[in-house]
Amino acid sequence: MKLVEAVRDARRVYLIGNGGSYANAVHIANDLLSVGVRAYTLDPATLTAFGNDHGYETVFSRWLQVVGEKGDLLVALSGSGTSENILGAIKTAHRIGMKTFLVSRHLQGIDMQESEEEQLKVGHAVMKELREG
């Protein structure tokens, strides 16, 4: 699985999402930490401060500008696949030299709840392969 290879090769892994996808990002980051991967999400205090001060559409981009480096990996979880703050973060990650993955099935006709369930399935599959491999 290409995502597993990217996680193995990354210096650090950053996970982002909105709403239920944010909760899934936190869940997956925690799972990755349990198998020795340096995985991070944007903490709620910083997320709301950036959103209040600079606009919610830039919260993840601003975070990556501060912490992201070439060789890191961004895993973006999005139920819709069209959120401005997610797409902007992907562009920022590319400018930094980070690899990126977008996990979104909504664009393939799956409803939002099923899309968010698929995010966790992907995360658990990655963790399982890392643990067993």
Q: Are 109 and 67 in contact (CB under 8 A)?
A: no
Strand order in the sheet with 73-77: 39-41, 13-16, 73-77, 99-103
Quick: pLDDT tens for 45-98.
999 999 999 999 999 999 999 999 999 999 999 988 889 999 999 999 999 999
Q: What is the mean pLDDT of residues 123-133?
A: 92
Is 90 exceeded by the pLDDT of residue 101? yes
CATH number of the domain encompassing residue 87 = 3.40.50.10490
How many structural domains does the chain have? 1
Its domain, for residue 33, covers 2-132
